[in-house]
Amino acid sequence: MRAGQKIKEILKTSPTGQLVTVMGWVRTFRNNQFIALNDGSTNNNLQIVVDFAATPEITLKRITTGAALRATGTLIASLGKGQTVELKADTIEIVGDSDPEKYPLQPKKHSLEFLREIAHLRFRTNTFGAVFRLRNSLAFAVHTFFNERGFVYMHTPIITSSDAEGAGEMFRVTNLDITNPPKDSEGQIDYKQDFFGKSTNLTVSGQLEGELAAMAFSDIYTFGPTFRAENSNTARHLAEFWMIEPEMAFCDIHDNMNLAEEMLQYLIAHVLQNNKEDLEFLSNRLEEEEKQKPQNERSELSLLHKLQFCLDNKFERVTYSQAIEILRESNHNKKKKFQYLVDKWGVDLQSEHERYLVEKHFKKPVILIDYPKEIKSFYMRQNEDGKTVAAMDILFPGIGEIVGGSQREERLDKLELRMKEMGIPAEDLSWYLDTRRFGSCPHAGFGLGFERLVLFVTGMTNIRDVIPFPRTPKNCEF
């Protein structure tokens, strides 16, 4: 079947009357003469010029929005103004019809909410074409980044029996008959009879297994799906999302921050270089959208400038304690403009506080470190002050927390003590504690929510629009 060229490549060539075959889907058909054909390789359409006098009427009728077709003809300099080249068609073959009365996509602007309901067709729009080409490009660049630095790509399990990670509510995995599960002598569900002979769940993080591998390969990363059964209904949460989790042996919190910052800048630089067209499209789209907002709500930088800004400026590194001081002394706090006023050390920062730090005070990405141990996980390394742990969160404008990481507690006695304090049974994690028993070493890692990165890079505002088929509470279509 395939013996044609991608439109992206054709648009790059200079037209010399060469014979060309293309396949794609009709975006619009104007004047019974001009087909805007798109094959997903780029947002730019190839204009196919049909000789309507020489084409059977029945064929013309079948050239409708959404129809798949193959066109062969000569590539010439366009006689019209909107494009430089066009294909003067000799033959048009309708590969797949599209009933114009029923096809939901029109050559006009649709709301993102409507397109979300037809997620199976939204790839065919300019916006989602750009978004998912960028998503692809970013995913590829993640692997390139780590591969260039000698990291081993580790596939951590999707199904897990460990439920001590504390990263969130989990989805149970079972093949027991849920209408009539087997019970043990105490009347509890008897998971010994379940598929794995024990209670199992979908993973909420690959970190603990990642640490095991890092204690052999030195530098590893995972990049896979994770699942959280939290009832979170926001534009920044998904029940199924993709996470990138590097883990590095013989590294501390500072190496960790350096890697995270280097990686984010690498990925942004990669798309600025390789996906300029799609970024320009999204940047313009955003500007158009913002014209409808009042002046004071518009963003100061365009999407392209915002991305460039992240490359040109070091991320601001501040400790939790410094952040609390800044917030407490801010006019915003003194004038009681925060819903939650900042008064004492030890409270968790609300997203209004994070936004203030990133968007108002520093006006650039911020790395917050050394959080109070009470508000962080058991595995984070305790600092010498006895109050804080070597945790780091990277906050991005418009997104909030995009990276969460830490130096891990490598000292067995301190780790065991902390687990006891937090009520985490050591016997469940003996395999994890073994890394601290046999050749323990300082190590660190972080988790990057891939969709949050795609949100930031594309300038989209709802996380459901940067994953093909979003899974959220009460929504699992397609």
Partner RNA sequence: UCCUUCUUAGCUCAGCUGGUUAGAGCACAUGACUGUUAAUCAUGGGGUCCCUGGUUCGAGCCCAGGAGAGGGAGCCA
Identify residues 160-199 at the interface with RNA (CB under 7 A): 167-168
Asked if 36 touches RNA (CB under 7 A), the answer is: yes
Q: What are phi and psi of 369, to 5 degrees?
A: -130, 170
Candidates 279-287, 292-300, 365-373, 460-468 — which segment interacts with RNA by CB under 7 A? Answer: 460-468
| Window 119 to 158, contacts with RNA (CB under 7 A) | none
Q: How far is CA 340 from the centre of its chain?
A: 29
Interface residue with RNA, options 20, 48, 49, 358 (CB under 7 A): 49
Interface residue with RNA, options 449, 457, 458, 466 (CB under 7 A): 449
Site string for RNA, 384-403 (x = CB under 7 A): ----------------xxxx
**Rounded distance, CA 123 to CA 132, Å?**
8
Interface residue with RNA, options 13, 147, 234, 313 (CB under 7 A): 234
Query: β-strands 46-49, 34-38: how paired?
Result: antiparallel
| Window 15 to 34, contacts with RNA (CB under 7 A) | 28, 30-34
Nearer to RNA, 219 or 245 (CB): 245
Candidates 67-75, 104-112, 281-289, 423-431 — which segment interacts with RNA by CB under 7 A? Answer: 104-112
Interface residue with RNA, options 9, 93, 113, 262 (CB under 7 A): 113
CB of 366 to RNA, least distance (A): 14
CB of 111 to RNA, least distance (A): 4
Helices (H), 240-350: 253-274, 276-290, 303-312, 320-329, 331-334
Q: What tokens does 308 get?
A: 């460039």
Nearer to RNA, 243 or 251 (CB): 243
Q: How far is CA 456 from the centre of its chain?
A: 8
Interface residue with RNA, options 134, 447, 456, 459 (CB under 7 A): 447
**Rounded distance, CA 370 to CA 378, Å?**
14
Question: How would DSSP label each residue in 49-79?
Answer: EP-TTTS-HHHHHH--TT-EEEEEEEEEE-S
Identity of residue 216 = A
Asked if 55 touches RNA (CB under 7 A), the answer is: no
Pick the closest to residue 279 from 120, 126, 448 (CA basis).
126
Pair 85, 74: CB distance under 8 Å: no
Nearer to RNA, 55 or 302 (CB): 55
Asked if 5 touches RNA (CB under 7 A), the answer is: no
Cβ neighbors of 252 (< 8 A, separation 6 or more) are: 390, 407, 442, 444
Q: What tokens does 172 get?
A: 């149970």
Interface residue with RNA, options 38, 70, 71, 86 (CB under 7 A): 86
Interface residue with RNA, options 17, 56, 96, 107 (CB under 7 A): 107
CB of 195 to RNA, least distance (A): 26
